[in-house]
């Protein structure tokens, strides 16, 4: 179920949290040092006088989404919360990692990885398509709109070409298909399994959202 608090607000809180509750020392500095650092300028309430002193940029909020391609709650969160938040916030505010695997299980049969997914083989295929898409596209701003298109459409597994045409026509659908059907896709899914299994504490459901570790 999508969280009641808007994700954009949670991200802004995470951005500001490192500075909340921190008491700067009183202004014990001579006036000629007031603009020597942002912290001193704040302590001396001299921010407006230090026009050339830029405020240190906050580190981006790191959000990791562990999900399944056909999980209804995952699709709702990704489409209605995460994608819209990403569109609204500045690019430097939010760093997103997508890990499509969730409650799947893997087994190694004669040196090859096989996967069983909560919502059946089609979900395993959807997970694989999105994983190979990320691998081929590399750039988050290129593949996230395509994943949004897949997850918001009628079929996660059948709309890849249509979504590519709209959001990333520069990507080669044939290369993504080759990844899905070959050993590369299985290896990438195995990595997703390892990332999911390494969660501490372990995930209890999906979508499982981790913010700043």
> 0.85 cut: is pTM over it?
no
The verdict on residue 137 lying in a domain is: yes
Instruction: Give the pLDDT of residue 20.
Output: 40
pLDDT range class, residue 103, cuts 50, 70, 90:
very high
The verdict on residue 32 lying in a domain is: no
* Mean pLDDT in residue range 134-140: 97
- 44 vs 51 pLDDT, higher one: 44
Structural domain including 167 reads 79-211
pLDDT tens for 171-185 read 999 999 999 999 999
Instruction: Give the pLDDT of residue 21.
Output: 35
Instruction: Give the pLDDT of residue 107.
Output: 97
* Mean pLDDT in residue range 189-213: 97
The verdict on residue 16 lying in a domain is: no
The verdict on residue 156 lying in a domain is: yes
Question: Phi then psi for 37, rounded to 5 degrees?
Answer: -155, 160
Out of 2-11, 74-83, 130-139, 204-213, pick the least confident.
2-11
pLDDT tens for 66-88 read 999 999 999 999 999 999 999 99
The verdict on residue 62 lying in a domain is: no
Is the predicted pLDDT of residue 212 greater than 60, yes or no? yes
The verdict on residue 24 lying in a domain is: no
- 47 vs 165 pLDDT, higher one: 165
The verdict on residue 116 lying in a domain is: yes
Q: What is the mean pLDDT of the chain?
A: 89
Number of structural domains, the chain?
1
The CA distance from 150 to 131, in Å, is 12
The verdict on residue 205 lying in a domain is: yes
């Amino acid at each position: 179920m999508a969280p009641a608090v808007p994700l954009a607000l949670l991200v802004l809180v995470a951005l500001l949290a490192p500075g909340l509750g921190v008491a700067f020392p009183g202004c014990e500095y001579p006036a000629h040092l007031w603009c020597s650092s942002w912290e001193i300028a704040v302590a001396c309430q001299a921010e407006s006088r230090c026009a050339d002193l830029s405020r240190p940029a906050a580190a981006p909020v790191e959000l990791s989404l562990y999900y399944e391609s056909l999980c209804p709650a995952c699709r709702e969160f990704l489409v209605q919360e995460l994608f819209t938040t990403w569109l609204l916030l500045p690019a430097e505010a939010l760093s997103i990692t997508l890990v499509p695997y969730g409650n799947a299980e893997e087994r190694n049969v004669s040196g090859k990885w096989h996967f069983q997914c909560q919502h059946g083989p089609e979900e395993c295929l959807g997970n694989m398509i999105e994983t190979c898409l990320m691998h081929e596209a590399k750039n988050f701003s290129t593949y996230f709109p395509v994943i949004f298109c897949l997850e918001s459409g009628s079929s996660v597994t059948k709309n890849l070409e249509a979504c590519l045409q709209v959001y990333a026509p520069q990507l080669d659908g044939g290369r993504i298909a080759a990844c899905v059907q070959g050993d590369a896709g299985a290896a990438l899914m195995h990595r997703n399994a390892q990332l999911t299994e390494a969660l501490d504490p372990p995930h209890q459901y999906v979508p499982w959202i981790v913010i700043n570790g």
